[in-house]
Structure 1
Amino acid sequence: MAFSIRGVIEALPVMPLHSMAGSWLRAVELLLSTQTPDERAAAELMIRLMHEEWDRRRAAPREGDLAEHWPVEAKDRPGSPMSAHGYHVGRRSDLPTVTRHDILRRCVEEPLMPAFPPEALAEWGAPHSVMRLKAVLDLIDNQIRSNFTQADKQTAVREWRADLRFLHGLYGDRAGVRWPAMEDRQVRFVG
């Protein structure tokens, strides 16, 4: 293992949230790789204990936990709960598709880390809720709409559309969900 799960678990109560975000992503990657049952169980335990720590920090916020206070060297200060969990696309991202999709699934189904003010996270709804799914879809759709005419963003746009198709495959039959367009559009590039 590239990092000590036991060490991370022991450090959770004092670990800065931006460090916990990186450890969370490594645990997700470990779960997706072919590991022993003991390693998988340890990674699952680590994620569960992180969720418990996030609950404690929601109840008693710590200075420096909000993304706006994360150090500049943290992988970009996240602009959304999804990016706080490591979700990135395009040329800047080194995430394999399977990891990106698992992050998306977890952003819909699991608690979000308290890297944003409670009123901002309230707009994302509860885990497994239609409100949470809509928040994820809206963020991706807004990114596509903002970037699809930019020639240098086409890799990102293709990956966002693939992510929408992945999410539709998981949650497509949910009532009350308007699905964004997932097809490629013919556009004239600018910039």
Structure 2
Amino acid sequence: MHRLFVALRPPSEMRDTLLAAMGGIENARWQSAEQLHCTLRFIGDVDRPVAEDVEAALGSVRFPGLDLALSGVGAFGADGRRKAVWAGVSPHDQITKLHKKIDQALVRAGLAPERRAYLPHITLARLNRSSGAIDRFLADQARLASPPYRFTHFLLFRSTLGSDGATYEAIARYALEPAAAAG
């Protein structure tokens, strides 16, 4: 079985900004530079033939490159049971359209459509239990921002779960189209 997801890999400058923002929440499992990504579509566990269909379907996606910036922070989970803290990615319109194109291609390949609402973000830490430090982190990092960076491709990742958390391996790369020349 292959545990797969489709994502954008932030450039090193953006990863450096994210790494500098991390800290201050006790018992948080902070992401490493290698783990930082913006998920476009989680696929989950599939067997080899389906994984091959996924790779082929993603090759049919045509979409222009994206200029994305970091934009604030947030947390998933209810106030008493927060499970993760994340950095926002903006603007939402183009990345949401790319998410939909990827989802449509995967549905044509036989996967079920994505049912959850899509919120572009980069997970910074997973949390075992909530603490007041989460609110302090969210307040301290509320203005987290970066200049826009150009994303020229997206990746298909294989995720392997281990005792030290997940490791991600990019197994396929898909180019986004260059911006149209101004004319």
Question: Normalised by the shorter chain, which TM-score bucket?
Answer: under 0.3
Structure-1-length-normalised TM-score? 0.23
Higher RCO, Cα 8 Å, sep 6+: 2
Q: Which has the higher strand share?
A: 2
Structure-2-length-normalised TM-score? 0.24
